Chains A and B, each alone.
Chain A
Amino acid sequence: MSGHDHDHHHHDHDHSELTETELRVRALETVLTEKGYVVPAALDLLIETYEKKVGPRNGARVVAKAWTDPAYRTRLLKDGTPAIGEIGYAGRQGEHIVAVENTPKRHNMVVCTLCSCYPWPVLGLPPVWYKSAPYRSRAVADPRGVLADFGVTLPKGTDIRVWDSTAEIRYLVLPMRPAGTDGWSEEKLADLVTRDSMIGTGLPKRPGDLK
């Protein structure tokens, strides 16, 4: 019913520990289902939503629209939540979204040092590195070093602003529009917008990067 075939995944993790976790998760789902607290079909829908529907493609559409529509960009930077809601993205872990704009003088980077806060409606669920100690510890103290881990070097003279998501405000970085994209459609521009460019650990692709 719940759709998991429960074959034992042989990952490089500690095998016995992983197996125990798998068994406990399965047991808890069965117990909670038998008690009527959860409905497996609802669980399937939750998974499907974040696996197939809600992801960084949403944020890329927001960014591409801001790049092509100056009035939208103004609305987005003034009050992110309703502007993002215009395109249909809203809700859990994105109830209060603030968009922060990169400029030649300032690069923005978003972190949650205390847990894993991340703007789900526009970026989906966070990648493992975003939730892990190396990023959470160093993003606030050595953001340039973190960018180097991602292979990113900013031009000289670019200041870095780090946003630690300690409350229920979620931050979306509006990266700079790449040169050589004059006249591009929103759809084509969205292909340049990477997830990491909206977290601030990356830059958008350049026209030559598109195949």
Chain B
Amino acid sequence: MNGGQDLGGTDGHGPVMPEPNEPVFHAEWEKRAFALTLAMGMPGGWNIDMGRFVRENRPPGEYLAMSYYQIWFAALEQMSKERGLMADDEIAAGHSLRPPKSVKRILSPADVAKTLHRGGPTERDTNMPAAFRPGDAVRMKNINPPTHTRLPRYVRGHAGVIERVIGCHVFPDSNATGAGENPQWLYTVRFDGRELWGADGDPSVTVSVDAWEPYLLSAG
């Protein structure tokens, strides 16, 4: 979606302001919101792409005004409600008011370390050959889905070169809508800075994105 999250090349946000000796968390609630988000993935049953879409799918002004953990927490609340795992009146009461919904799995303390160590690899086997090879000239499609996509606006329509064939990976545009993993070949595509930003762009800059085959057109 063309939302507030798609920030590459937008202006007016001011300078980057690094915080010296920044703590990992800035408040107790950030720790709990972070941990709840990780732990609820199992009982919640949503995937990372669904989570990203819920986070970005809000008015851009709101997205930009919220801290990152506020966005995470808002998404966690929304996904938990949408799946009937809890309701607003329970948040207001500060207690569960109904019996739990049955869930497949929860994250037990004994499983934390191995669950984190395993992670969630997204590479999948495929019989389909990759359509592109390193060095191939490509052009990014101009697509504007209202749903989740990982093709940022600043590269759409632009010409680039395949730098690397990464492998066949879960396709977020499908996975986010519940349409399945629909794995697709994934590539690193490199662009000259001036292709993206025009003649005034810095000629010594190149930029790459990782892009799935459905985002690409052959330009050879």
B202 touches A140 (CB 8 A): no
Inter-chain contact total with CB atoms closer than 8 Å: 278
A11 at the interface (CB under 8 A from B): yes
Q: How large is the interface on A (under 10, 10 to 19, 20 to 34, 35 or more residues)?
A: 35 or more
A128 at the interface (CB under 8 A from B): yes
Binds B, one of A36-44, A58-66, A67-75: A36-44
Cβ-defined partner of B7 (8 Å) among A31, A92, A137, A161 = A137
User: With A24-B73, A28-B80, A138-B13 known to touch, is A92 a contact of B106 (CB < 8 Å)?
Assistant: no
A77 at the interface (CB under 8 A from B): no
Q: How many residues on the B side are at the interface (Cβ–Cβ under 8 A)?
A: 97
Q: Please, which residues of chain B bring their CB within 8 A of the CB of A34? A: 95-96
Q: Please, which residues of chain A bring their CB within 8 A of the CB of B85? A: 32, 35, 37
Tell me, in angstroms, the Cα distance from A167 to B209 when the chains sit together. Answer: 8
Q: Please, which residues of chain A bring their CB within 8 A of the CB of B106? A: 36-39
Residues of chain B from 72 to 105 with CB closer than 8 A to chain A in the complex? 73, 76-77, 80, 85-86, 90-96, 99-101, 103
Q: Please, which residues of chain B bring their CB within 8 A of the CB of A47? A: 25, 31-32, 34-35
B10 touches A31 (CB 8 A): no
B208 touches A22 (CB 8 A): no
Q: Please, which residues of chain A bring their CB within 8 A of the CB of B16? A: 129, 132, 134-135, 138, 146, 149-150, 201
Task: For the complex formed, measure the closest distance between the CB of A172 and the CB atoms of chain B, giving whole angstroms.
Answer: 15
B28 at the interface (CB under 8 A from A): yes
A125 touches B24 (CB 8 A): yes
Q: Please, which residues of chain B bring their CB within 8 A of the CB of A42? A: 35, 39, 107-109, 111-112
Cβ-defined partner of A162 (8 Å) among B76, B96, B99, B206 = B206
B32 touches A166 (CB 8 A): no
Q: Please, which residues of chain B bring their CB within 8 A of the CB of A128? A: 19, 22, 26, 67-68
A35 touches B86 (CB 8 A): yes
A207 at the interface (CB under 8 A from B): no
B24 touches A137 (CB 8 A): no
Tell me, in angstroms, the Cα distance from A46 to B119 when the chains sit together. Answer: 13
B126 at the interface (CB under 8 A from A): no
Tell me, in angstroms, the Cα distance from A44 to B109 when the chains sit together. Answer: 9
Of A35, A133, A134, A159, most buried by chain B (CB within 10 Å of CB) is: A35
Residues of chain A from 105 to 147 with CB closer than 8 A to chain B in the complex? 113-116, 124-125, 127-129, 131-144, 146
Q: Please, which residues of chain B bring their CB within 8 A of the CB of A115? A: 5, 52, 55-56
Tell me, in angstroms, the Cα distance from A135 to B15 when the chains sit together. Answer: 8
Chain A interface (Cβ within 8 Å of chain B)?
2, 4-6, 9, 11, 18, 21-22, 24-32, 34-39, 41-47, 49-51, 55, 90-96, 113-116, 124-125, 127-129, 131-144, 146, 149-150, 158-169, 196, 201
Chain B interface (Cβ within 8 Å of chain A)?
5-11, 13-19, 22, 24-29, 31-36, 38-40, 43-44, 48, 52, 55-56, 64, 67-68, 70, 73, 76-77, 80, 85-86, 90-96, 99-101, 103, 106-109, 111-113, 115-123, 150-152, 154, 166-167, 169-170, 172, 186, 188, 196-197, 201-202, 204-212
State the 7 A-B residue pairs at the shortest beta-carbon distance, nearest first: A113-B8, A167-B210, A43-B35, A35-B100, A34-B96, A91-B119, A133-B13
A4-B32, A91-B117 known, 4 other contacts, Cβ within 8 Å: A26-B29, A32-B86, A43-B36, A134-B14
